[in-house]
Structure 1
Amino acid sequence: MRTACFVDGYNLFYGLLANSPYKWLNLPSLLAHILHVEDPANTLHGISFFTSGVKPALATRGIASQHAQDTYIRALKAKGVEVLMGLHQIESGKAPRFIDKKTPPSRAEQVEIWKLEEKQTDVHIAISMYRLAVRQMTLPEEKRIQQIVLVSADTDMTPALRALRDDFPELRLGVILPHREGVKRTVPGSLKQHAHWMRHVITNDELANHQFPERVPTLKKPAYKPDYW
């Protein structure tokens, strides 16, 4: 079954890779593995990876975080992954002051904050999945993508899956949650409702077995695994 994967990079990083030794993830290898486990007839025919650039001023390691992201993106592109960039927007705002977990938030206790928001990614993923489905109608049946897999736990993608399920009933839909083994997270039921199948957890062994080599050749200079990864 010819499959195209659409990956929310922000969701992938913070749901699966942050605070782990597996950031140098060989994404094509991992996704091909998961698809084969789900159904040996599945074949990976493309990955679209959506993310936004790191803002060094707000990153834990400053400019080094930006360089690490840039290096990883070069490695992904070298392996045939399509990378599509959104943007981060920072604005001032107000939010309820945190006192402790036993004290509920209150509008009377607000503080000034900086709000960092990722822009364009969700809509870009949704439109890209739908456009791909539309384009398949113009292709001979033997060349069509037969399955779209979303790699995200973001329930904002529910309307996109619902539309695909309604408008293209012959298209199979899957969801891979970027949830690491041993980290308790809520399963997004609205995504599951509109998918034919869902992978709930990615194991540590799978992550360890699907890492890039230290040096990834590219068309220009090689991409080397960041030291602190």
Structure 2
Amino acid sequence: MRTACFVDGYNLFYGLLAGTPYKWLDLPSLLAHIIRVEDPANTLHGVSFFTSGVKPALATRGIASQHAQDTYIRALKAKGVEVLLGFHQIESGKAPRFIDKNTPPSRADQVEIWKLEEKQTDVYIAISMYRLAVRQMALPLEERIEQIVLVSADTDMTPALRAIREDFPDLRLGVILPHREGVKRTIPGSLKPYSHWMRHVVTDAELAEHQFPPRIPTRKRPADKPDYW
């Protein structure tokens, strides 16, 4: 079954890779493996990766974090991954003060904060999945993408999955949750009714097995694994 994967990069990083030694992830290789586990007849025919650029002033390692992200994106592109970028927007605002987990938030006790929001990424993913589904209708049956797989646990994707499921009933839908084994996370129930299958966990063994080599040749300078990764 010819499969296209759509990856929420922010969700992938913070749900699966942050704090691990597996950030230099060979994403196409991992996804090809997972979809074959689901069904040995599945074949990977495209990966689209959606993210927003790191803001060095707010990153743990400053400019080094930006350089690491840029390097990884170059490695993905060299491996045939389509990369689409949104952006981060930072604004001042107010939020209820955190006291402890047993004290509920109160609008009467708010503090000034900086709000960092990722913009356009969710919309890009939704539109890209739907447009791909539409374009398949003009292709011969033997050339069509038969399955779309979303890599995200973001319930904001529910309307997109629902629309595709309703408008293209012959197109199979899968969801891979970027959740590590051993970390208890809430399963996004609203995604499940609109997917034909859902992978709940990606194991450490799978992450370790699907890593890029330390150096990836590109059309310009090579993409070398960041030292602190």
Same topology, TM > 0.5: yes
Distance 2:180 2:21 in 1: 12
The residue number in structure 2 matching 1:35 is 35
Structure 2 regions of 5+ residues with no counterpart?
none
Give 1:44-63 correspondences, 5 Å limit: 44-63=44-63
Distance 1:198 1:99 in 2: 37
State how 1:166-177 maps to structure 2 within 5 Å: 166-177=166-177
Question: Which runs of 4 or more aligned residues in structure 1 lie more than 6 Å from their structure 2 counterparts after TM superposition?
Answer: none
Structure 1 residue aligned with 2:227: 227
Match for 2:143: what amino acid? K
1:88-99 to structure 2, matched below 5 A, reads: 88-99=88-99
The amino acid across from 2:161 in the alignment is L
How far off its partner does 1:100 sit?
A: 1.0
Equivalent-residue separation in structure 2 for 1:149 and 1:36 (angstroms): 12
Identical-residue share of aligned pairs (%): 86
The alignment status of 1:12 with 2:7, answered yes or no, reads: no
Cα deviation, residue 102, structure 1: 1.2
Partners of 1:223 and 1:182 lie apart in 2 by: 31
CA RMSD, 1 decimal: 0.4
Q: Which residue of 2 aligns with 1:66?
A: 66
TM-fit CA distance, 1:15: 0.3
Matched with 1:110 is 110
Q: What is the distance in 2 between the residues matched to 1:218 and 1:181?
A: 33
Letter paired with 1:150: L
Q: What is the alpha-carbon distance in structure 1 between the residues aligned to residue 99 and residue 171 of structure 2?
A: 48
Q: Displacement of 1:4 after TM fit?
A: 0.3
CA distance in 1 between counterparts of 2:76 and 2:99 reads 42
Correspondence for 2:134 = 134
With the length of structure 1 as denominator, give the TM-score of the two structures: 0.99
| Secondary structure of 1:131's aligned partner | helix
Question: Normalization by structure 2: what TM-score?
Answer: 0.99
Cα distance between partner residues in 2 of 1:172 and 1:152: 17
